[in-house]
Amino acid sequence: MRLSVILRNFKNVTEERLPKKKPYWLTKSNLEVPKRSRAIVDLIQIQKARLNEPGFFKRTILTRNHQRRNEFIEKDFFEQGPDVYAASRTIEYEGRFRMSGRTRWITKLEKPSGTLALNLNFQLDAVDLSQSTVNIDGLDHYVGCANLKAMYLSKCRYVDDWFLSRLAHEFKDQLLFLDLSECPSVGVTGLLALSRLKSLKKLRLYNLPPFDGKEAATMIFEENVPGCLVEGVDYEIEAVAGLLEAGDTQEQQGDIRLIGVDDKDREHVNENTRQSAQMN
Q: How do residues 204-220 score in pLDDT, each as one tens digit?
A: 999 999 888 888 899 99
Residue 6 buriedness (CB in 10 A; 0-12 / 13-18 / 19+)? exposed
Q: Please give the average per-residue pLDDT across 185-204, as a whole number.
A: 94
Helical packing angle, 56-70 and 38-52, nearest 10°: 100
What is the spatial distance between Cα 137 and Cα 120, in angstroms, rounded to a whole number? Answer: 24
> What are the pLDDT digits (tens) for 113-167?
544 444 557 889 999 999 999 999 999 999 999 999 999 999 999 999 999 999 9
* Amino acid 66: pLDDT: 74
Q: Please give the average per-residue pLDDT across 52-63, as a whole number.
A: 66
User: Does residue 177 surpass a pLDDT of 90?
Assistant: yes
Q: How far apart are the first and last CA of the chain?
A: 123
Chain-wide mean pLDDT for the chain?
A: 75
User: Does residue 196 surpass a pLDDT of 90?
Assistant: yes
What is the spatial distance between Cα 184 and Cα 154, in angstroms, rounded to a whole number? Answer: 10
* Amino acid 15: pLDDT: 47
User: Does residue 68 surpass a pLDDT of 50?
Assistant: yes
Residue 19 buriedness (CB in 10 A; 0-12 / 13-18 / 19+)? exposed
- For 87, which DSSP code? H
pTM here?
0.65
Higher per-residue pLDDT: 60 or 181: 181
- For 105, which DSSP code? -
